Chains A and B, each alone.
Chain A
Amino acid sequence: MATREDLSTVTGSDQPLRPYQPPHARPGPDRPGESAVALRLGLLGQSLLLAVASTAGVYLAAAWICAVAVVGLGAGIPLTLVATVPVRWFAGLHRRWAAARLGVPVPAPYRPASAGGWLARTGTVLRDPATWRDWAWLLVNSVTGLLTCGLSAVFFLCGLFYLGYPLLVRVTPPDLFREPLGFFQINGTAESLTMMPLGLAFGVIWYVTAVPLATLNAQMIEALLAPTRHAELQARVGQLASSRAETIDAQARELRRIERDLHDGAQARLVSLGMSLGLAQRLMAQDPRAAQRLLAEARESTSGALADLRDLVRGIHPPVLADRGLQGAVEALAMVNPVPTTVDFRLPGRLPPPVESAAYFAIAEALSNAIKHAAPRRVLITAEYAPGTGNAAGLLSICVSDNGHGGASIGGGTGLLGIERRLSAFDGTLAVDSPPGGPTTVRMQVPCELS
């Protein structure tokens, strides 16, 4: 049994395994290390692009509505489908920008495309409220986007213009740039210096408003392009319905397997036991030696039946899991694993029994997958629990990492797919990172509360 203490002594020349780290942290609204001015200059560049885009959006909206308008003529059907593609792409770009700005994901709300012909697909597109919200946003954005982005750009340019005013006065002919605000005259470079504080003021206004204006624009985008509460709930209902169907399916399959195992295993052995005993009873008087042989057979049948039942019980709910919880059960797995396996669990309490069972079988499956396909020299199993905040549930994270030759994928075999199904009943997720040549990390996350 490789415990944590002897980790250092057994790694040898192998590259040590480390717990899985997510490849990138969640995007925050303001990345640390970026200076305030750089952030605002970045936003300025983005505003210029967004301002241009908001105008382009009007043409897009017009083109799309024209395509929809001629749906009745037939030609509109393919036209609508074609026109929807750039609209959604355009909206998608803005969602990504808003998500980066706000630091929260802004998911796309579209219904999945239907399989049927052009007519059916057009019908799905036109019945999807998200389609019409996209279109409404294109129109709204032509005002709000232009206003928020344009205003920021105007502040900045005004600042530059008035700060550079003396220079303008100097290099241009005397009849140009002499009436800065339209109602008074400037004569000579010295007088033009009075314009510089105005430039400074515009600079300050730009500096102060750049971030709030960009955020306002992002919020506007989020409000119209993110899924509505209704759409979110609808998506959730769909997801629950399919995961429930899968769970029921899996349960029925499992019951059928147990029934078959009982029928072919323990039940059959008990029948044979009964037959041996009956025969032995008959033969007791005439042929004691044969009766003894039959009794020995009967005892063997009993042992076999017990072994069958034991295997069955392990497959349903391993006793060690009930006795010791997830950590003890996984340590027991690791102890008899043919590959040196380290178990590092940091769970502050016991998991709810259904989650515990699902997690156990998921780990067992991931472990046997690794042994069977990756030929690893070491395996590391870690588990952590992050308590929930507010209404959100806590999160159980489990990693099974090995230093084998990698190349695993969720679709690749039934094993990982089975884990994904098992976890989906608890809103759990599975991520597999397994480049060819290894190492492989199977990461499972399940929201749950500890007891």
Chain B
Amino acid sequence: MRIVLAEDLALLREGLTRIFETYGFEVADAVSNGPSLIRALTTQRPDIAVVDVRLPPTFTDEGLRAAIDARQRFPGLPVLVLSQYVEPIYARELLSDGAGAAGYLLKDRVMDIDQFIAAVRQVAAGGTVMDPDVIAALLTRHAADVPLQALTPREREVLALMAEGRSNAAIASRMFITDKAVSKHSNNIFAKLGLEQSGEDNRRVLAVLTYLKS
């Protein structure tokens, strides 16, 4: 799998490159700023872009904007955004094109290397991965405000885990219920959110999107 990496701090850029190479990925290009990220994505056409939110020249949310830009040019380009801090508002922007294949994680998560690599593979395969902190922040909100109020607490829990990018099997083991119960819950969620029509993967993305948008 070919990766384009954008990270301005050399220490972290090298660390990430080393991790990726250890796990058998090919780092096609490792860049340090927004404009060269766009260039690298255009010339390399990688399987996934791993991008730091804060990049030069502006040192604001340059990386996020570049990623969103690139996805407009290459729809469905898998992007995993890493950040020192998470903002649900950025997660929403990243997912707002509804194409899936997007992830948003705290940089800390890299420390659990196996889980981090699993997240990279999942996003590259078209999945959605949200940092548990984003989910936790969203869970503090008032239930009455959101279109999710029709969901039972159990279904909300399933949806939150789904947003973290977990498979049905992983959700089942986490919640100590059977796979069958999970798929029953998720079908209820899709039905309540009005997502009966599309395919399974797409529905998961749309459900997560609803969750983030609410």
Contacts and interface: CB of A to CB of B under 8 A. Distances in A.
B89 A10 contact: no
Contact of A302 (B60, B90, B111): B111
A320 B89 contact: yes
A313 B87 CA distance: 14
A272 B17 CA distance: 28
Given A319-B84, A340-B145, A332 B89 contact: yes
Interface string A316-331: 0001101110001001
Q: Chain B: interface residue count, which band?
A: 20 to 34
Contacts of B107: 306
A303 B60 contact: no
B43 interface: no
A338 B84 contact: no
Given A10-B145, A339-B142, A323 B88 contact: no
A340 B142 contact: yes
A260 interface: no
Interface string B103-118: 0001110011000000
B140 A336 contact: yes
Nearest to A2: B145
Contacts of A322: 60
B213 interface: yes
Contacts of B84: 306, 310, 313, 319
B155 interface: no
Contact of B85 (A310, A331, A340): A310
B87 A338 contact: no
B88 A299 contact: no
A263 interface: no
Interface string B130-144: 000000011011101
B61 A324 contact: yes
B63 to A, nearest CB: 10
Contacts of B141: 335-338
Contacts of A324: 60-61, 89
A336 B142 contact: no
A332 B142 contact: no
Interface string A288-319: 00000000000100110011001001100001
A313 B137 CA distance: 17
Which interface class (under 10, 10 to 19, 20 to 34, 35 or more) fits A?
Answer: 20 to 34
Nearest to B140: A338
B54 A303 contact: no
Contacts, number: 59
Contacts of B144: 340
Contact of B60 (A2, A323, A332): A323
A331 B89 CA distance: 8
B76 to A, nearest CB: 25
B214 interface: yes
Nearest to A10: B145
Contacts of A340: 142, 144-145
Contacts of A299: 111-112
Nearest to B107: A306
A303 B85 contact: no
Contacts of B106: 306
Given A337-B141, A339-B142, A340-B145, A314 B88 contact: no
Interface in B186-201: none
Contacts of A2: 145
Nearest to A300: B111
B111 A328 contact: no
A262 interface: no
A232 to B, nearest CB: 42
A337 B89 CA distance: 12
Contact of A336 (B60, B85, B88, B112): B88
Interface of A: 1-2, 10, 299, 302-303, 306-307, 310, 313-314, 319-320, 322-324, 328, 331-332, 335-340
Interface of B: 54, 60-61, 84-85, 87-90, 92, 106-108, 111-112, 137-138, 140-142, 144-145, 213-214
Given A302-B111, A313-B84, 17 more contacts: A299-B111, A299-B112, A303-B108, A306-B107, A319-B84, A322-B60, A323-B54, A324-B60, A324-B89, A328-B89, A332-B88, A332-B89, A335-B138, A335-B141, A336-B140, A336-B141, A338-B140
The 10 closest A-B pairs by CB, nearest first: A340-B145, A323-B60, A323-B61, A336-B137, A332-B89, A306-B108, A338-B142, A320-B87, A310-B85, A335-B88
